[in-house]
Structure 1
């Protein structure tokens, strides 16, 4: 067996994976949302677009033991931030269609690992509670981070994200 042939056989699986498209995350239901529960956390994903018109997913999460609320953004846009300092705190604000907004306590980029995303958290207590309450009257929101705006993220039904998180909490408490 020639070295070139052996090398070709060894590389063929790696080359085949380069053309593989991996579908990330949950798929929206008829209302435009995807609900998930695991490890004591309720998650509701909604979908929108980035500045390049590519689909991205925003996932609100609520930890049941203390009400800590967070939002994560998943999509192709994250490639632009692979050099971001993972220890830096980036300001993040969620802007609701009701006119209210919610600046997070912390935010950042989780890049370079198996799953890459931008995130924000409000911490347990008043800030999470206020942001959670703002979801109750909302029909859409956008996320502003590091000088960029993502969304709007929309779904069917005013307050449906809040209702989905509340139902998840009731079902899993």
Structure 2
């Protein structure tokens, strides 16, 4: 076998992947939300655009065993943070259209892996419960972290993100 043929066979799977379109995340329903459940966690995604007009996704996740609430942001904007220290704490603040806001206990950049994101978490207990309750009256929110703001993320129906998380919890408890 020639070197060229061997090299061509070795590269063919890589070249074939260049023509595959990878889909990132769930697709929104008529309200603009996408629900997922797995490993004891309910996830509700809301979609928006970043400052460059690129599609981004915000995902609220609630762990059923203890109520821990977190938010993650996914999109091409994360590429600018490839050199961020994933061990450094960068809490986020979620600002709701109701005028309330919720600073997270922890947060940061999840870079260098398969699903890169910006994330923030409130931890089990009072802070998660208060942020979860704030979702009940909201119809949009923005997320700020490390001098950057993302959103607004909007959907149809006041409290729809809270209702979707509540429905998921009821169905999977």
TM-score (norm 2): 0.95
1:55-107 Cα deviation digits (max 9, x unpaired): 11111011111111000111111111111101000121001111111100000
Runs (4+) off by over 2 Å: 18-21
**In structure 2, C-alpha distance between the alignment counterparts of 1:3 and 1:102, rounded to whole Å:** 60
State whether structure 2 residue 78 is matched by structure 1 residue 78. Answer: yes
- 1:142 aligns with 142
**In structure 1, C-alpha distance between the alignment counterparts of 2:83 and 2:105, rounded to whole Å:** 22
- 1:90 aligns with 90
**In structure 2, C-alpha distance between the alignment counterparts of 1:90 and 1:47, rounded to whole Å:** 22
- 1:11 aligns with 11
**In structure 1, C-alpha distance between the alignment counterparts of 2:22 and 2:111, rounded to whole Å:** 17
**In structure 2, C-alpha distance between the alignment counterparts of 1:146 and 1:94, rounded to whole Å:** 13
- 1:42 aligns with 42
**In structure 2, C-alpha distance between the alignment counterparts of 1:8 and 1:162, rounded to whole Å:** 52
Structure 2's unaligned 5+ residue stretches are none
Structure 1's unaligned 5+ residue stretches are none
State whether structure 2 residue 61 is matched by structure 1 residue 61. Answer: yes
RMSD of the TM alignment (CA)? 1.1
- 2:31 aligns with 31
1:41-60 Cα deviation digits (max 9, x unpaired): 11111100111111111110
SS of the aligned residue for 1:98 comes to coil
TM-score (norm 1): 0.95
